[in-house]
């Protein structure tokens, strides 16, 4: 029998190997809106939401000038950034669209709404918001039923305050 992780445990931060630190900072800071907390020359940067020491670490220690991992190889599938509500997710979609970053996919999973893009190094990025748990789809026995339905991005953009 396995011992489950404590329910209050969380993923504190993600570190990504990047080829070009300035390019990655521009994406995560200027497009997604993370705040630059610290930079160590052209080797590393630490970004966060809300002033935390860092949610995202970027470094070139083993990857300066490198290429994205080829398809069909193991590695990171994506990082997922949870937005507090639908309005904030819509705002993120608008910023991504305004920056000309291609939307690679989107989905309504029943429990959440998600948008999929890639960062400049080809790392997958999921931007999503959770629905309140009371709205999660369940089967007759109360089990969770996640789905992969289309997400109407045009409708989502209507949530952005003018």
- pLDDT value, residue 87: 97
**Span 23-76, pLDDT tens digits:** 999 999 999 999 999 999 999 999 999 999 999 999 999 999 999 988 888 888
Q: Where are the domains of the chain?
A: 1-64, 78-162
**How far does Cα 81 stand from its chain's mean position?**
3
Residue 147 pLDDT greater than 90, yes or no: yes
CATH number corresponding to 78-162: 3.10.180.10
- Pairs from 29-35 (Cβ < 8 Å, separation ≥ 24): 30/99, 31/95, 31/96, 31/99, 31/101, 32/81, 32/92, 32/95, 32/96, 32/125, 32/127, 33/92, 33/95
The dotted CATH code for 1-64 is 3.10.180.10
The yes-or-no answer to whether 1-64 and 78-162 have a common fold is yes
The pLDDT tens digits for 76-121 are 899 999 999 999 999 999 999 999 999 999 999 999 999 999 999 9
Query: Would the CA dihedral through 52, 10, 127, 80 be positive or negative?
Result: positive
pLDDT (average), residues 17-24:
97
């Amino acid at each position: 029998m396995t011992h489950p992780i404590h329910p209050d445990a969380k993923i504190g931060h993600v570190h990504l190997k990047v080829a070009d630190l300035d390019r990655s900072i521009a994406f995560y800071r200027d497009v997604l809106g993370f705040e630059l907390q610290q930079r160590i020359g052209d080797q590393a940067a630490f970004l966060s939401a809300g002033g935390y020491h860092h949610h995202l670490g970027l470094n070139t220690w083993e990857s300066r000038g490198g290429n994205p991992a080829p398809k069909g190889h193991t590695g990171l599938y994506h990082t997922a950034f949870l937005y507090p509500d639908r309005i904030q997710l819509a705002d993120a979609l608008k910023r991504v669209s305004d920056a000309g970053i291609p939307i690679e996919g989107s989905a309504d999973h029943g429990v959440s709404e998600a948008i999929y893009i890639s960062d400049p190094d080809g790392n997958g990025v999921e931007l999503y918001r959770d629905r309140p748990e009371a709205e999660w789809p369940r089967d007759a026995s109360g089990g969770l039923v996640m789905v992969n339905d289309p997400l109407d991005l045009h409708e989502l953009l209507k949530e952005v305050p003018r």
